[in-house]
Structure 1
Amino acid sequence: MNSININHRQENTSIPLEIENGLAALTRPSTPKHSLLILDKRELDRHCLAQCMAGHTDEFAIVAFGSIEEWKQKREEYPPLSAILLNVGGKMVDDPAVSEQIKSLSSEFASTPVVILADSDDFGQIVKAIDYGAKGYIPATVSIKVCVELIVLSVAGGLFVPASALFAMRHLLQSSSSTAHPLAGIFTDRQAEVVAALRRGKANKIIAYELNLRESTVKVHVRNIMKKVKATNRTEVVFKLNDLFSDSLAGSGAN
């Protein structure tokens, strides 16, 4: 067994890095009660990541393996698992091999958070990772210190996703809102409500009751709507409105 000593910058203590058969375990002199398992098939990548993370936490024993099967063969040598960090690198989460690995780990280690470390911060990939059972998604753009803190958060029961995912979600919500009212540029908000009621075949009295308006006010809205779509009667206005909605939705789907 080869042994390499690395210095921890903050505490100026020596952390033994033990390497055996391509596997690495980093521990501190005061043996932690739990371990963080790093899974990465790329040997150099997992060793470098383990070494860096060991220099930023004394909460876990950092254990790095190429697969969960390799870890199981040595599991008795390390403290109980507190979290699993699966480093997928540049692979996509929805790659069949990756998605199955996430599902398998999340199912087998139900009480242990599985956190994904990936090069991509694509919103779709993040959503899929969480859907597959991951308890967090960390983009490779964060620092080692932040990465460790986010894993601690997942151990405490939290769920982390990048800020970019929240911005993407807001954009989707805004897009959804705009597609829900495709004729917002033609009608006022109140007219749009009347339009929706007209398309459902509701009488003015019912529309007035549901929108908390006077029936005379509804009639004014209907007349203004008729002018905008160039209709001469109520039947024609409904027919033209349906055509307008159909064309608008078709146009948004083509973009």
Structure 2
Amino acid sequence: MLKPRYAGNIILVSSNKLLRDCIDIVLSADVPDYKVQLFSNVDEWCRVSSLYTHVRLLILCENGGVDESRALISARDCDPTIPVLVLSNSDDAASIIQAIDLGARGYVSCARDVGDLVQAVRRLINGETFVPAEAERAEPARKSMTQRQLSIIAAIRLGKTNAEIGRELGIGESTVKVHVRKIMRQLQVTNRTAIAHRSRDILLTGDYPIPGCDTRSKITPADFDLKTLEPAGRPPSA
């Protein structure tokens, strides 16, 4: 029997040892040309990353939420040239798009079949992406925002309260709340922090009047602290 040729390393990061071992067995069988290197957290990987060559993919498997986002940011900071595949417990469109916004090249929910994981791994190794249909279906909502809604989104990202937004736009606080609820439905999210996460690429594509500004302005990455995952200055109100 011919021994598989060595094509490079796949880095697998997960705090769950059983999950690490199971994924290692699957990938060793389905992509045998690649050596799977196991790590329990991103910091452990980053400390020794310079010792590994020909790293073709990093698979990040955490529990979702803020910890997952921070781990993704750390992995990207460690080596932005390595494509990252997120394997997550979350399967909602907001979580998927947030991961893609933070630099992931692919996303697979733990609710999916193992075949989806293998397919995602093969695509990313070949320089492609793997984005679930849930996120792709959410895209039209991002393009249907009115100028007023975009201004409110921009203000939310700057940490303004509903009362502040209302005063600066010349509308009632209750009207702002109606707009915010509609924005949440369109973006398929449930809170203001998620609006801030999801709006990153929307506001970078154009300029919109922002409450409290005399001229039309752009929101830039500097307005969103990716280390704390909150708008710079102060967090959005609940």
TM-score by length of 2: 0.55
Aligned pairs for 1:3-152 (under 5 A) are 29-71=3-45, 73=48, 80-88=54-62, 90-92=63-65, 95=66, 97-152=67-122
Structure possessing the higher radius of gyration over alpha carbons: 1
The 1-side partners of 2:126 and 2:138 are apart by: 26
The 2-side partners of 1:83 and 1:44 are apart by: 20
The 1-side partners of 2:30 and 2:107 are apart by: 19
The 1-side partners of 2:107 and 2:25 are apart by: 21
TM-score by length of 1: 0.52
Show structure 2 runs of 5+ residues with no match: 150-170, 182-238
The 1-side partners of 2:106 and 2:9 are apart by: 18
1:200-252 deviation digits (Å, cap 9, x = unpaired)? xxxxxxxxxxxxxxxxxxxxxxxxxxxxxxxxxxxxxxxxxxxxx99xx6684
The 2-side partners of 1:129 and 1:101 are apart by: 11
Cα gap change, 1:251/1:155 in structure 2, threshold over 3 Å: closer, same or farther?
same
Q: What's the % identity of the aligned pairs? A: 21
The 2-side partners of 1:126 and 1:109 are apart by: 21
- Aligned position for 2:153: none
1:161 and 2:134 matched? no
What is the root-mean-square deviation in Å for CA atoms of aligned residues?
3.4
Contact 1:42 1:66 in 2 (8 A): yes
Query: How many angstroms does 1:46 deviate by?
Result: 0.7
Q: Relative contact order (C-alpha < 8 Å, sep 6+): which is higher?
A: 2
Contact 1:31 1:61 in 2 (8 A): no
Query: How many angstroms does 1:159 deviate by?
Result: 2.3
Contact 1:117 1:137 in 2 (8 A): yes
The 2-side partners of 1:31 and 1:64 are apart by: 20
SS at match of 2:129: coil
Cα gap change, 1:87/1:158 in structure 2, threshold over 3 Å: closer, same or farther?
same
State the AA in 1 paired with 2:91.
Answer: D
1:253 and 2:179 matched? yes
1:109-146 deviation digits (Å, cap 9, x = unpaired)? 22110110012111111121122221111112332232
State the AA in 2 paired with 1:52.
Answer: V
